């Protein structure tokens, strides 16, 4: 007798979310099975990778990744165009780091001008991220959402302390929204509920349960993302059926393992290859746990993960 492998049929489904406009728009989500379990159901869209771009030169990045963007990182427009035209980026994550009070304190108007110039220069989807300063992001992201109207961007990150203003701006200007909580499935669910109670469409939210790098609590991150995805699929929990984003680059490229020199720690191997492998391994783990959108920095790490996704699809 031929063997028929058993299949798990889920009652839930992840919402499909499309970011951007026109022929370069990118759709993520839509699956009704665990990551890459296409043999059990439908996986209509592959996970997407966005390249991280800052509004200021990244002086705190390790040389092994900073040198790649040395000729363009002084201008976010040049940087974004380089990622799209040379590195074939399918999406850009514009991080408005320079608006942080301790990192330049650029105004909301300056940030909005940067967003507008980047949008005018690229035709791929744009993710607009604040500086993660709760009070400043409230002003900055409202202005950014306004100038980006009509481009179906992702605005983020809305947190418990500022979600009302940011969600209202995203809703008013017809954008998607990242809802970030601190590595707790219950907090993530609560934030999603509070945002939808404002009238925000639950199918335009992207969950950010926070992230961690390999060796720095990745197992816990994996577990939280996996529990979110299991709640969406097996329990048909409509508050947990949004796509998940993994903000990989910002967590990986600040740890000692990607910056400690070979002279100090020769047993760790070549510094460049080490950093690439660390980001690729972290990102690969997150897509296996349920992330449908990754934000990455090193193009070789992104290429390795892209090949990994292609193989699994």
Domains of the chain with bracketed CATH: 17-312 (3.20.20.20)
Q: What is the pLDDT of residues 122-131, one digit of tens each?
A: 999 999 999 9
Output the CA angle 181-186-192, nearest 5 degrees.
60
Output the CA angle 276-60-74, nearest 5 degrees.
95
Measured in residues, the chain has a length of: 313
> What is d(CA 166, CA 137) in angstroms, rounded to the nearest whole number?
8
Instruction: State the residue for tokens 């966005």.
Output: 50
Under 8 Å CB-to-CB from 59, ≥6 apart: which residues? none
**What pLDDT, on the 0 to 100 scale, is given for residue 157?**
95
**What pLDDT, on the 0 to 100 scale, is given for residue 284?**
97
Q: What is the pLDDT of residues 208-235, one digit of tens each?
A: 999 999 999 999 999 999 999 999 999 9
Q: Which residues of the chain have pLDDT under 70?
A: none
Q: What is the largest CA-CA distance in the chain?
A: 70
**What pLDDT, on the 0 to 100 scale, is given for residue 270?**
85
Question: What sign for the dihedral angle of Cα 250, 93, 156, 286?
Answer: negative
- pTM metric for this prediction: 0.95
Q: What is the pLDDT of residues 40-82, one digit of tens each?
A: 999 999 999 999 999 999 999 999 999 999 999 999 999 999 9
> What is d(CA 114, CA 139) in angstroms, rounded to the nearest whole number?
15
């Amino acid at each position: 007798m031929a063997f028929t492998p058993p299949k798990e049929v889920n009652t839930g489904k992840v919402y499909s979310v499309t970011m951007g406009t026109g022929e370069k728009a990118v759709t993520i989500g839509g699956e009704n099975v665990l990551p890459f379990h296409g043999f059990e159901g439908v996986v209509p869209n592959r996970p997407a990778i966005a390249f991280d771009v800052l509004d200021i030169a990244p002086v705190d990045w390790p040389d092994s990744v900073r040198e790649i963007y040395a000729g363009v990182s002084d201008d976010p427009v040049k940087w974004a165009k380089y990622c799209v035209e040379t590195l074939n980026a399918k999406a850009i994550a514009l991080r408005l780091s320079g608006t942080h009070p301790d990192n330049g304190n650029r105004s909301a108007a300056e940030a909005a001008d940067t967003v507008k110039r980047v949008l005018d220069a690229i035709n791929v989807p744009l993710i607009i991220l604040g500086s993660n300063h709760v009070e400043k992001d409230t002003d900055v992201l409202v202005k950014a959402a306004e100038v980006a109207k009509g481009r179906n961007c992702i605005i983020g990150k809305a947190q418990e302390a500022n979600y009302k203003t940011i969600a209202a701006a995203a809703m008013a200007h017809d954008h998607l929204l990242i809802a970030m909580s601190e590595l707790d499935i219950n907090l993530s669910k609560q934030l999603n509920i509070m945002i939808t109670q404002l009238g925000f469409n639950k199918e335009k939210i992207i969950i950010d349960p926070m992230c961690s790098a390999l060796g720095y609590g990745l197992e816990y991150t994996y577990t939280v993302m996996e529990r979110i995805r299991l709640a969406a699929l097996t329990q048909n929990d409509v508050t947990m059926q949004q796509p998940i984003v993994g903000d990989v680059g910002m967590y990986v490229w600040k740890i000692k393992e990607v910056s400690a020199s070979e002279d100090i720690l020769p047993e760790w191997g070549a510094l460049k290859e080490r950093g690439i492998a660390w980001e690729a391994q972290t990102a690969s783990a997150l897509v296996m746990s349920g992330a449908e959108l990754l934000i990455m920095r090193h193009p070789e790490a992104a290429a390795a993960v892209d090949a990994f996704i292609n193989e699994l699809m």
